[in-house]
Amino acid sequence: EVQLLESGGGLVQPGGSLRLSCAASGFTFSTYAMNWVRQAPGKGLEWVSTISANGDSTYCADSVKGRFTVSRDNSKNTLYLQMNSLRAEDTAVYYCAKGRSTSCYSCAFDMWGQGTMVTVSS
C-alpha cells in the first residue's frame, strides 16, 4: 500500500525556519517525481515545488522561490522541504504528493499524504 507521511510542521515565528519531511513507502520512491502542495486555512490548493526522481531537477512557485528548497534522499525514501524566512502567508497545511507515472516529470498527483500544519505567527 502506498503511504506518504508528512512531519515537521508546527508553530514558528515570522522569519523563522522549518524543515518538513515526507516518508514514503509502498512504491519505488526513487523512480517518481515528488511534489509539495499547500492549502491555507479555508482556501484552495497551491502548488509549491516539484523534484525529479533522481533529485537533479527542481521547480518552485515564485511565492517561495529563494526561501524554500525541496530535496530528497532516495536511500531513505524521504522527501524534504526546507522553509526559511517564513511569513504569515506561508501558514497552511503542507501536503506531499506523488507523481502518477515514472515517465512524466510533471505528472498528475495520484497519492497524497495527510498533510502537516505550518503556522507562522508571533
Partner 1 sequence: EIVLTQSPATLSLSPGERVTLSCRASQSVSSYLAWYQQKPGQAPRLLIYDASNRATGIPARFSGSGSGTDFTLTISSLDPEDFAVYYCQQRSNWPITFGQGTRLEIK
The residues with which 89 forms a beta bridge, in sequence order, are: none
Residue from 25, 54, 110, 121 in contact with partner 1 (CB under 8 A): 110
Q: Does 36 bind partner 1 (CB under 8 A)?
A: no
Report the C-alpha gap between 9 and 22 in whole angstroms. 11
Q: Give the binding-site size for partner 1 (rule: CB under 8 A).
A: 23
Residue from 45, 55, 69, 77 in contact with partner 1 (CB under 8 A): 45
Q: Count Cα atoms within 13 angstroms, Cβ side, for 45.
A: 11
**Where in the chain does DSSP place strands (E)?**
3-7, 10-12, 18-25, 34-39, 45-51, 58-60, 68-73, 78-83, 92-99, 109-112, 116-120
Shortest Å, Cβ 47 to partner 1: 4
Residue from 5, 23, 61, 117 in contact with partner 1 (CB under 8 A): 61
Q: Does 94 bind partner 1 (CB under 8 A)?
A: no
Shortest Å, Cβ 16 to partner 1: 25
Residues that bind partner 1 (CB under 8 A): 35, 37, 44-47, 50, 59, 61-62, 95, 100, 104, 106-115
